[in-house]
Chains A and B, each alone.
Chain A
Amino acid sequence: MNVNEKFSGMRKGLLEFLVLQIIAAEKVYVADILKQLSATQFATQEGTLYPLLSKMRREGLLDYEWKESEAGPPRKYYKLTVKGREQLRDTLQYWTEINDTVKRLGQS
């Protein structure tokens, strides 16, 4: 079992964190998020992302608005709510702590 398979669960858990971070930077729609993720280890597909976004919206972390697109039907553009920003801040904090732990352990 290689590292990539081994940590698929961890990547799934982190996906929400990354989506928060992407949406925090600018208003995006799903194809933008997929494109940004596609170049990373976290590459994912609509089948995973839509349920995640719906769940996050239900939890009040993000909201969306409809925007006209140049060609075709209007698209959902996502943005963070206040609660979403708080969550992102907490997660970042927590992530830094985890990182420190990983680096520190076994070094002494």
Chain B
Amino acid sequence: MNKVITINLGGNAYQLEEGGFDLLRNCLETAAARLQNNPDRDEILSDIESAIGEKFRALLASHKTVVVAREVTDVIASMGPIEGGAEAGDRPEPGGPGPSRAASPENTATPKRLYRIYDGAMVSGVCNGLGAYLNIDPTLVRLAFVLLTIFWGMGVLVYVIMAFVVPEARSPQEKAAASGLPGTAQEFIRRAKEGYYEAIKNFQNPRAHRRWGRWFGPGMRASAYQWRYHWGSCGMPPAPHYEPWMGFALPFLSILSGAVMIAWLCALISLLATGKVLGLALPPNVPIWVAALLLCIAYGILTGSLKTARCLFWWPRGVMGRPPAPVVLAEAFIWLLVVGVLFLLASHFFPQLHTAVQAVPSILNQAKDDIHAWWNTK
């Protein structure tokens, strides 16, 4: 059962499902925004309203008086993107966004910005926004965060920081800029398709619920563990009884783990950029993403043991592996800072890094397709 809203299109009343009404209003608002500097704006908008009305009329009959949301989606899609921002000769607008009519949709793509997208978000839209920005499925981004949390415990921290730092996309223009697409009708449809309405539909479906539970349960448990691990030892007095050789071993272990990290990064970047691990070609039937995953696992195993050894030396016996929370947090922040600075420097001096980062979305998509195909063969 859905609420119905009556609207006026070109002087005629139509009844729309509430979801469909929101879609249509979004579509028309976007069109109005895109035509802002067009001298024929009002005429074009009223023409488009009438055309949409006519298409709705064709869908209705005496026994069917309401246009459902899916039909609204189809009609908006059939209208195509609203072109015709102010033309170059008409009204020059200094630095304004209005793309010229002659340009193809690819060229009119608004510059991408990283936003949080709240429609269809699970928590605060960080993954959703990242997915839109990198042009990959937000579910994959969420999965990446969960994996990051399980293996390194960094995911939660990165997520919280991004939730505070990255702005939320509010206006239609910002939402369009979040995925770098022009604010077209189709963009709203895409968002509606994979976003909010889907989530609402699925919420009544216990199977989908369970599926989400399976999906996110491990992540939640992992973050709960991280939480206890970081904060649970607060106030516990450390047992500072060293043996001198441990103090000497500590810096070497740090240097070693740093070296392992640099080697891992180099291998990963060379793999993503050239398809070879530090000059060694992959066996022909191993896809790049499998190699990348193996590299990550190898790195996790290596650093895991190094980390344990460091913790062991740091807090010998008794409170093994439990430095107090401020130390862990400070370490994490410094680590993030160093990685960020290194990354900036590296992408400035090595164009390969840029290539590698750009290759990530397509490789993730490839992985998704491979897994999908494999799943279907079962």
Interface of A toward B, CB cutoff 8 Å: 8-9, 12-13, 30-31, 44-48, 50-55, 57-58, 71-73, 76
Q: Do the beta carbons of A9 and B102 come within 8 Å of each other?
A: yes
Query: Would A51 and B51 be within 8 Å (CB), given that A44-B80, A71-B57, A72-B12 are in contact?
Result: no
Residues of A within 8 A of B87 (CB): 55
Question: In the assembly, what is the distance between CA of A54 and CA of B41, in Å?
Answer: 9
Confirm or deny: B180 has a beta carbon within 8 angstroms of a beta carbon on chain A.
no
The interface size bin for chain B is: 20 to 34
Minimum CB–CB distance from A72 to chain B (whole Å) comes to 5
Q: Which residue of B lies closest to A69 (CB)?
A: B54
Identify which of A8, A51, A57, A71 contacts B101 (C-beta below 8 A).
Answer: A51
Query: Would A52 and B50 be within 8 Å (CB), given that A9-B104, A46-B79, A73-B12 are in contact?
Result: no
Q: Chain A interface mostly helix, strand, loop or mixed?
A: helix
Q: Do the beta carbons of A46 and B57 come within 8 Å of each other?
A: no
Closest 6 CB pairs of A and B: A45-B80, A51-B84, A54-B40, A47-B80, A47-B82, A46-B79
Q: Chain B interface mostly helix, strand, loop or mixed?
A: loop
Question: In the assembly, what is the distance between CA of A53 and CA of B47, in Å?
Answer: 10
Question: In the assembly, what is the distance between CA of A50 and CA of B46, in Å?
Answer: 10
Q: Do the beta carbons of B11 and A73 come within 8 Å of each other?
A: yes
Confirm or deny: B243 has a beta carbon within 8 angstroms of a beta carbon on chain A.
no
Residues of A within 8 A of B80 (CB): 44-48
Question: In the assembly, what is the distance between CA of A29 and CA of B201, in Å?
Answer: 39
Q: Do the beta carbons of A72 and B44 come within 8 Å of each other?
A: no
Q: Which residue of A lies closest to B43 (CB)?
A: A54
Confirm or deny: B38 has a beta carbon within 8 angstroms of a beta carbon on chain A.
yes
Q: Do the beta carbons of A52 and B84 come within 8 Å of each other?
A: yes
Question: In the assembly, what is the distance between CA of A73 and CA of B78, in Å?
Answer: 20
Q: Do the beta carbons of A48 and B83 come within 8 Å of each other?
A: yes
Interface centre among A48, A50, A54 (most CB of B within 10 A): A50
Q: Which residue of A lies closest to B185 (CB)?
A: A47
Question: In the assembly, what is the distance between CA of A13 and CA of B104, in Å?
Answer: 11
Q: List 13 A-B contacts (CB under 8 A).
A: A8-B104, A9-B102, A30-B47, A46-B48, A47-B48, A48-B84, A51-B82, A51-B84, A51-B101, A53-B47, A54-B38, A72-B53, A73-B53
Q: Do the beta carbons of B78 and A45 come within 8 Å of each other?
A: yes
* Further pairs besides A48-B84, A50-B48: 17, Cβ < 8 Å: A9-B102, A12-B102, A30-B47, A30-B51, A31-B54, A45-B81, A46-B48, A46-B79, A47-B83, A47-B185, A48-B80, A50-B51, A51-B35, A54-B44, A72-B53, A72-B54, A73-B50
Convert B145-157 into 0s and 1s, putting 1 for each residue whose CB lies closer than 8 angstroms to a CB of A.
Answer: 0000000000000
Q: Do the beta carbons of A54 and B50 come within 8 Å of each other?
A: no
Question: In the assembly, what is the distance between CA of A50 and CA of B81, in Å?
Answer: 11
Question: In the assembly, what is the distance between CA of A50 and CA of B49, in Å?
Answer: 11
Question: In the assembly, what is the distance between CA of A53 and CA of B53, in Å?
Answer: 19
